[in-house]
Structure 1
Amino acid sequence: PEFPRTPNEDHRYIGQEYDLPSGSFSEDFHLYQFEWTDSLLVWSIDDVEFYRLTREEIEARTSYYPFDQPFYVILNLAIGGDFLGNQQPDESTPDRNEVIVDYVRIYQDTNKDPE
Structure 2
Amino acid sequence: MKKWPIAACAAAAVALAGYAVAVWWPVQQMKADVRQHLNDPESAQFNQVFKGNKEGAFCGEVNARNRMGGYVGFTRFIHFPDHDIKFDPTDRGYMSEDERQSAANFSVMWHGYCGAGY
* TM-score with structure 2 setting the length: 0.23
Relative contact order higher in (CA < 8 Å, ≥ 6 apart): 2
Higher share in helix: 2
* TM-score with structure 1 setting the length: 0.23
Rg larger in 1 or in 2? 2
